[in-house]
Chain A
Amino acid sequence: MSLSNSDCERRCHILVGLSAAPSNKKIIETAGRMASAFDATLSALYIADPGNNLTEEERRRLHDNFRLAESLGAEVSSVSGSDVAFHLSEYARLAGVTKIVIGRSAASKKSFFGKPSIADRLILMAPGTDIYIIPDSETTFRMHARKLFTAPDAKGLIKDFGLAFGILAAATALGYLFSALGFSEANIITVYILGALITGGVTSSKLCWVLSSIAGVLLFNLLFTAPRFSLKAYDEGYLVTFFVMLAASIFAGTLASKWKTRAKEASRRAYRTKILFEANRLIQNADTEEEILLATKEQLQKLTSSDVTVVKGAPPAARPSEKLYSVDRGGAHYATFITDIAEESFEDSIAKSIVGECRLAIDNKLNLAEKELAAASAKREELRADLLRSISHDLRTPLTTISGNAANLMTNENAFDSDTRQAIYSDIYNDSVWLIKLVENLLSVTKIEDGKLKLRLTTELMDEVVSEALTHVRFQEKSSKITFSAEEFLFVKIDAKLIIQVVVNLIDNAAKYSPQGSEIAVSVARDGDFAAVTVADHGPGVPDEIKPKVFEKFFTGENVPRRRSLGLGLYLARVIIESHGGAIDLTDNEPTGARFTFRLPLAEVNINE
């Protein structure tokens, strides 16, 4: 086992065996030092024996050993199985391991029936691999003793003994029957061996079926061999019979017990694989990142049958009994799942694949969202450019008249007669009011189109909001007669500012197209699950072919009698109403004119007395 340089011509790969033994730390450290000396890749493998339950202290130690191996840069994996040598050699073969490092105690550990030691078998199974055995203080005796006499728990042990006792009693009863019928002793021995086989199959404690095998031999001796009811045997040949019977019983028990553990392990594996498939399906079907995290969390909970916590952002510090699985994105922590999965378990690898699936899915979702965001932002930019082009032209006109008129008044006020002056004043006033309205609408546009400023929804009474809008209009709108009628107690969840803007725009639009002094009727009414607000005028109305266009951006009617228009008011009204989950439409008024109606979903309100 000398190391020659030719072994390391390709990059060295060192495999170290992990265990819960206290001496394992030293072995891992040694492997770490070797890895850095050879500039080798380091792997660590834990072989979990499904028939062997770890104590709390061992779990903690195992956890520490896993951490240590990771900190030394090892790729840590775990498999489930009882044949250490087989798994080590298989891993070594598959991963191209060149050197295996194990502890002396583990190397010389023999299986129950005195098969060759792990080291011997490793040399056989992995002929091309160097095996380094590191001396440690662990004694093999303790390992054996503990393995043999560890029961799952006191309750299980009592149950196992009960079962073993029952089977022995049944075997004895059957033995008596055979004896009474005059069958040969060989039949009775077979019955006892069958009993040992069943005991091994139904109980989980090794102690239990070993003791029950011995008890079976003793009972046979006591009850069925001459002299009866004594442990003595007259025939020398019985000694051989007893020994063969004991060996056969224990062997049968071992086989049955192994078969049972395998079957259990196989069903657990099948269950976990099912969880993995299910996780895959659920995560693929999830619509949002939240749903993905939730599905992952639920599958992890199923896997561990205990609570799993998911934390978004930076992960919390792990407690010793916890294992964290992080979902990273772009170098930052996106979310972390906190579980109580033990490091060594087969669950760990399943959990890793589930969390990996989750990471992929979240990555996809977020990438898609970013793309959509980019597209939306491009659309916004386009609108902003449109708006700017349109505004720069429309702003110039009123600003020119305001500044020009004011300049005239400053320089030759006395040259104008009082009527002319009055006309100039009113032009200045009207143009500035127009600018004020424009600015209000522009503010609303930025609020809606910017995407950042969300609607500030509050629960409001529809009639209150509309009457507030009317107070805004009445200060400016003196050319028309505005009437208002309302149904009360219609609650809506709205951004009041924006809805007021809609009502102002609709009234403004109505006033713009209707004759001086005509009536504009504003009404609020309930319409199914909606609050409907109608603004009806007596203007010329809107021809059918133009109706679909009025809510479009920058659309203006041809015959605007008195004022200029930017073509924003109705467009904005539609955008605002639609962003509230409502709808706006245009119908004809009787006998002439237009009726604009918007509907907003009614909100539910809890009342505290």
Chain B
Amino acid sequence: MNNASILVVEDDPPISNLITTTLKAHGYRHIPASNGETAIMLAASNRPDIMLLDLGLPDCDGVEVIKKVRTWSEMPIIVISARSDDRDKIEALDSGADDYLTKPFSVEELLARIRATIRRLSSAVTADAKFVNGELTIDYAAGSVFLAGEELHLTPIEYKLLCILAKNVGKVLTHTFITRSIWESAWESNVGSLRVFMATLRKKIAPLPDSPQYIQTHVGVGYRMIKID
């Protein structure tokens, strides 16, 4: 699926050139858009596979674009933010963005994000009774988890956490989103608890130092389960 089409929403010409040149060099198809209105129009008419979205657009806030697109499409949206403030990213993620990049980003980082997203798309998550990712298997019906065929013993909260991550594989989930899903509130003490349970869960599903890291931490933002081939 290397010929995936990517909608690049970026108003700054040099950055837009950098991204489109990179995409061209790696064989992706790209559609450029320089403002929010065009982006929404092109997203609706061309049905791209992925959207790369700059949050600071001349005509509207990027978050508005995410909200509009999300009313009809689940296409992956990777946000590009020049603002180093985490709150923008968290707002974008909570509005439905899947991932984010902060300027200045390296070309390799951009390509890595795109590859991960495509990998997730090609093994589209379905409402199966089972979830399989690498050596990790979740049997939703039985409520049990297996790693390389061996059953893991998870506490109820660890299991709940794993299911939330699995159902949103590839997406960065914010702390607020996860704590709300588990405790129905987002107090600071719950965020602390979340760290602890996430750390124990992670230890259980990646027992060895060289085990694949299924769960990625985004400090100050949240967590993500990575799709492993």
Contacts and interface: CB of A to CB of B under 8 A. Distances in A.
A436 interface: yes
A608 B187 CA distance: 10
Interface stretch (B27-35, B138-146, B215-223): B215-223
A489 B196 contact: yes
Contact of B199 (A436, A488, A497, A609): A488
B203 interface: yes
Interface string A252-289: 00000000000000000000000000000000000000
B191 interface: yes
B138 to A, nearest CB: 21
Interface in B46-103: 84, 86
A458 B199 contact: no
B217 A605 contact: no
Contact of B217 (A467, A491, A608): A467
B189 interface: yes
* Dominant SS among interface residues on chain B: helix
A465 B196 contact: no
A468 B219 contact: yes
B191 A608 contact: no
A443 B190 CA distance: 31
A439 B191 CA distance: 31
Contacts of B191: 458-459
Interface string A486-504: 0011010000110010000
Contact of B192 (A475, A488, A606, A609): A606
Given A458-B191, A608-B183, A608-B193, A496 B84 contact: no
Given A458-B220, A488-B199, A489-B196, A608 B109 contact: no
B108 interface: yes
A377 B183 CA distance: 45
Among A436, A439, A458, A608, residue most surrounded by chain B Cβ atoms (within 10 Å): A608
B193 A606 contact: yes
B203 A476 contact: no
Given A461-B199, A475-B109, A488-B199, A607 B219 contact: no
A130 interface: no
Contact of B189 (A439, A465, A497, A606): A606
B188 interface: yes
A609 B193 CA distance: 8
Nearest to A604: B192
Contacts of B86: 497
A552 interface: no
A491 B193 CA distance: 11
A476 B105 CA distance: 11
A49 interface: no
Among B189, B191, B195, residue most surrounded by chain A Cβ atoms (within 10 Å): B195
Interface size class of A (residues with CB under 8 A): 20 to 34
Contacts of A476: 106
Interface string A189-232: 00000000000000000000000000000000000000000000
A496 B199 contact: no
A475 B188 contact: no
Contacts of A439: 104
A459 B189 CA distance: 9
A187 to B, nearest CB: 83
Contacts of A461: 195, 199
Interface in B120-150: none
Contact of A459 (B183, B195, B217, B218): B195
A394 interface: no
Nearest to A475: B106
Contacts, number: 57
Nearest to B106: A475
Given A458-B220, A475-B106, A608-B190, A443 B84 contact: yes
Interface string A439-478: 1000100000000000000111100110110000001100
A607 B193 CA distance: 5
Interface in A51-94: none
Given A436-B104, A475-B109, A609-B157, A465 B192 contact: no
B192 A459 contact: yes
A497 B84 CA distance: 9
Contacts of A606: 189, 192-193
A593 B192 CA distance: 37
B192 A497 contact: no
Contacts of B84: 443, 497
Nearest to A463: B199
Interface string A589-609: 000000000000000011111
Interface string B132-176: 000000000000000000000000010000000000000000000
B108 A475 contact: yes
Interface in A424-448: 436, 439, 443
A476 B183 CA distance: 39
Contact of B203 (A459, A468, A488): A488
B192 A489 contact: no
B220 A496 contact: yes
Contact of B196 (A458, A468, A605): A605
Contacts of B193: 605-609
Given A488-B203, A608-B190, A460 B196 contact: no
A608 B189 contact: yes
Nearest to B191: A459
Contacts of B196: 489, 605, 607
B199 A460 contact: no
A497 B189 CA distance: 21
A496 B196 CA distance: 17
A501 to B, nearest CB: 11
Given A458-B191, A468-B217, A475-B109, 9 more contacts: A460-B219, A461-B199, A475-B108, A489-B199, A496-B219, A606-B193, A607-B192, A608-B183, A609-B157
7 contacts: A443-B84, A459-B192, A460-B195, A464-B217, A467-B217, A489-B196, A606-B193
Interface of A: 436, 439, 443, 458-461, 464-465, 467-468, 475-476, 488-489, 491, 496-497, 500, 605-609
**Minimum-distance CB pairs A-B, first 9:** A605-B192, A468-B219, A606-B189, A496-B219, A464-B217, A607-B193, A496-B220, A608-B193, A459-B192
